Amino acid sequence: MDFEFNELQISVQKMIKDFVDREIKPVAMEYELEDRYPTGIVEKMQELGFFGLTIPEEFGGGGMDEVCYAIAMEELSVGWMSVAGILGTHMMTSWMILHYGSDEQKKNYLPKMATGDWHSGMALSEPGSGSDSAALRTQGKKEEDQWVINGTKMWTSNAEHANMFCVLVRTDPELPKAKGISGILVHKGSPGFKVSRHLKKMGYRGLRTSELIFEDARVPLENLLGKENEGFPMIMSALEGGRINVAARSVGLARAAFEDSVKYAQQRETFGKPIAHHQLIQSKLSEMATRIHASKLMTYQAANLKSDNKRCDLEAGMAKLFASETAEFCASEAIQIHGGMGFIQELPVERYFRDCKLLTVGEGSNEIQRIIIARRLLERYPV
C-alpha cells in the first residue's frame, strides 16, 4: 500500500505550510489570547482558494480530494487549530450539498462557498443530544410553502461568521428516532432564527462556538437537502469526513507539540548538557514521534478510502480515536519537556494542551468512537 503523496498533494502541502509559516504562526498567540477572529488570515485564505479546495472546478473550486482536505487540516493545525476549524465545517457542508443537493442548490450555493464569499456551519448537536445524534429534538413542520423550525442547537462552530447552516431537524416524530430526520439549509437572517449566546471555552479560541435558537423559524420548502426523513444517513456519511478532519487536526496539533519539544530539548541545558541527551527526555520524544507516525498513516488511509467513495466509518473512527488521544498525549508530554516554560503563555505549548481536549470530545466523543468501532468490527466478523 502506497502512502506517498502525489505531485498535486505535495504542492498543496507546501503551499499551505508556507502560508502557515508566513501568515499564521507569527500572530496565532496574539489572536488566541485575545479570543479574536482572524479576519486578515481568513481574507488571505479566500484569495488563495482555501474555501473551495474540495469543491469541483465546475462550481469554481479546486476539485481536490479528501487527501488534500486532510493535508489542509493537518498543516493549518500545526500553526493554529482554530483556523482549521473555520474551514472544517464549511467543507463538510459543501460536501453534503455536492452529494445530496439538488442541481439548483449546487448552482446557488457552491460557487459562493468556493470563493469564501459565503461561509457555512453545521447545526447538529443540541443541549440533550451530542454524541447521540439521533436523539435530536428540534422540530421541522410543513406549513403551506415553508418549513417551520423550532428548537435549539448547541456547539455550532463559526456561527458568528457563517452565512448559512445545514440544520438537522426531526420532520416525522412518529418514525424511529434515526428515521424521521431531515437536513434543511437555513440562511442567517431567516425570520425566527438567531445566533444566540457565544459559549466561553477553555481552548479553540478565536472563532465563536455558539447556540442557535429557532422560534417558528420559516424557511422555503426547496431548502430541504436531500430527501425528507432521510437526513440521518446523510449526516453519518458526512461525519466520516468530519472524523477525518478531526484526525488530521490531531496530527497537526501533535506535530506542533512534538516539533516545539525537539527544538526546546536541544536548547535547554541541565546538569551540563542539553536535556535532549537525557534518556527520559529521549524516551518521551521517541514515543511522541511513533504515535504521530501511526496516527498519520491511519488518517490518510481513511482519507484515501473517502476519496475513492468507499465506506470508511470504521477507519475514520479509528483514526479519530487514536490521533486525538495522540494529540492529548503529545500536548501533555510537551509541557513536561518544557517544564515551567510549558505552563506559561510565553510559548504556545500551553495552548496545545487547552486545544487538544476538543479533539477527544468533538465529532462524537472517544467513548462513542469505541462503540462505533466495535459495532463495525462485529459486522465485519460475523459468527
Catalytic residue IDs: 363
- Give the separation between CA 100 and CA 225, rounded to whole angstroms: 6
Angle between helices 81-100 and 349-361 (to 10 degrees): 30
Q: Are 75 and 252 in contact, with CB atoms under 8 Å apart?
A: yes
Beta carbons within 8 Å of 54's beta carbon, 6+ residues apart:
61, 62, 63, 64, 65, 66, 68, 69, 91, 94, 95
Helix (H, G, I), strand (E, B) or coil at 35: coil
Q: What is the DSSP string of 223-275?
A: GEESSTTBHHHHHHHHHHHHHHHHHHHHHHHHHHHHHHHHHHHHH-EETTEEG
Helix (H, G, I), strand (E, B) or coil at 174: coil
Angle between helices 366-380 and 313-338 (to 10 degrees): 140
For strand 120-123 and strand 273-274, is the pairing parallel, antiparallel, or unpaired? Answer: unpaired
Helix (H, G, I), strand (E, B) or coil at 32: helix
- Give the separation between CA 120 and CA 135, rounded to whole angstroms: 23
Q: Considering only CA atoms, which of 47, 42, 81, 375 is closest in space to residue 245?
A: 81
- Give the separation between CA 65 and CA 81, rounded to whole angstroms: 21
Q: Are 138 and 169 in contact, with CB atoms under 8 Å apart?
A: yes
Q: How far apart, in Å, are the Cα atoms of 330 and each of 117, 260, 285, 286, 288?
A: 36, 11, 9, 11, 6
